[in-house]
Structure 1
């Protein structure tokens, strides 16, 4: 089964309800403080999901549950039942089991012997590791893009920035995050290296969960848009150093927001590991 998430454009379509999957976005007027006791029941979360027949059902279930976890519809500690999910999608348990395995591999589900399968808490160490690997890949990508990007591709990035600003004005977190995904995807696409973006999808899984919790007060949309604009400026100037430095600064924003977000949502995070933290800064 293919475990990669859909392209950012597809993700954007899903947010509009016209693609394979739609998830009702979480309210995000501030950095959300959510108790693990306030878990959305599984059936309630799945009620916001829809499937499209042309995709393999296992892939749809994987992406549906992954997105529900990332957006907080399924909070840490929420139990997941193969039986309940299979009934919700009206499929056999086999594709559900396959989706569960992939989610365990992505680090967002855990299986406790004799107890069941549960949404896993966020690991700060995994967030930092994912950020470290993602930065290495995207810094190399944007550096190459600064030399190779075309005017038409720059126009696409500029249009994407406008969409980000429009989403921010409407306080539409889901739309902004879809634009953010597409922004990074477009840079990889500009050097014909979409595989680089696909490679980091599972690597950045823990980062994505923090992003949904950090927007507004901790990492406000306007700040992220300014960081994106600096990346585009470096690309427009065909300045590899400027583009790379802007990308590195942008991806290190997660290190700034991680501590405050963990303090606001302690039940969502595993205990930190100070030794690992020093190594990954």
Structure 2
């Protein structure tokens, strides 16, 4: 297992260790610093961070629950491939949750979070294509802010665990990321929320979260070694029509 270099992947020994190691390994896997098939050594990590093996073992269990690693008794812990159906399921669940979040916000627009989201859009434009990794972090902040503004911070924590495989796909596409398009989609979500347009906000967030479906076949084609594909072959197209703004 290669040694980490990112300064954000260091431990604060005064804080709880297991959550930190979980976060660090999750980020390394999602950002493809640790790739499918890489073996992660419990003893090596513990020794490198000067901690006991217990918090490392607990981090492995949490990552296994997210489908990011496979713990093989007596053989070590291996980074998994990206599950094709896991990506589709995560996107489906995320769309359902965030569509309700957009509905809540549009039902009673609040000026303060809307102003915050507008400022975030400005930062996204400033970053642009110059730093795709930084843009990804801003994108994460944008969606987290939506959840927090709707009083659904707990739901966002659930989403974070669900969308790990989705995030791995997005980092694979960093070189091709269409920042301008994503920013305009973010802006459309904020516009519809501010206007109190419940159906429009619902449609805008669904359209945005389906963007990954448009890119997925091409991403898989260029990175087949990263994916666990149905029957080991390229899947059929996954694009689905937008359901409009209709709300049951």
Query: How many residue pairs align between the two structures?
Result: 238
Summarize the Cα distance change of 1:149–1:88 in structure 2 as closer, same or farther, 3 Å threshold: farther
Is the contact between residue 101 and residue 147 of structure 2 (CA under 8 Å) also seen in structure 1?
A: yes
Q: Deviation digits for residues 206-252 of structure 1, max 9, x if unmatched?
A: 001111112342x4111111111110111111101111100000111
Asked if residue 52 in structure 1 is aligned to residue 46 in structure 2, the reply is: no
Separation in 1, partners of 2:198, 2:112 = 19
Separation in 2, partners of 1:195, 1:277 = 35
Cross-structure match for 2:135: 176
Asked if residue 246 in structure 1 is aligned to residue 188 in structure 2, the reply is: no
Summarize the Cα distance change of 1:159–1:46 in structure 2 as closer, same or farther, 3 Å threshold: closer
Identify the match of residue 190 of structure 1 among 149, 152, 166: 149
Select the structure with the greater relative contact order (CA < 8 A; seq sep ≥ 6).
1
Structure 2, gaps ≥5 residues long? 241-248
Cα deviation, residue 47, structure 1: 7.4
Summarize the Cα distance change of 1:55–1:280 in structure 2 as closer, same or farther, 3 Å threshold: farther
Q: Deviation digits for residues 73-99 of structure 1, max 9, x if unmatched?
A: 111111001011101111010000000
Cα deviation, residue 113, structure 1: 4.5
Is the contact between residue 51 and residue 60 of structure 1 (CA under 8 Å) also seen in structure 2?
A: yes
Is the contact between residue 134 and residue 204 of structure 1 (CA under 8 Å) also seen in structure 2?
A: yes
Provide the TM-score with structure 2 as the length reference.
0.89
Cα deviation, residue 190, structure 1: 1.3
Cα deviation, residue 202, structure 1: 1.0
Summarize the Cα distance change of 1:90–1:265 in structure 2 as closer, same or farther, 3 Å threshold: same
Q: How does 1:132-171 map to 2 (within 5 A)?
A: 132-169=92-129, 171=130
Provide the TM-score with structure 1 as the length reference.
0.79
SS at match of 1:43: coil
Cross-structure match for 2:36: 76
Structure 1, gaps ≥5 residues long? 1-40
Separation in 2, partners of 1:147, 1:116 = 50
Separation in 1, partners of 2:109, 2:8 = 38
Cross-structure match for 1:212: 171
Identify the match of residue 225 of structure 2 among 246, 267, 277: 267
Query: C-alpha root-mean-square deviation of aligned residues, in Å?
Result: 2.1
Cα deviation, residue 182, structure 1: 1.0
Cα deviation, residue 184, structure 1: 0.8
Is the contact between residue 58 and residue 99 of structure 1 (CA under 8 Å) also seen in structure 2?
A: yes
Summarize the Cα distance change of 1:48–1:161 in structure 2 as closer, same or farther, 3 Å threshold: closer
Cα deviation, residue 150, structure 1: 1.1
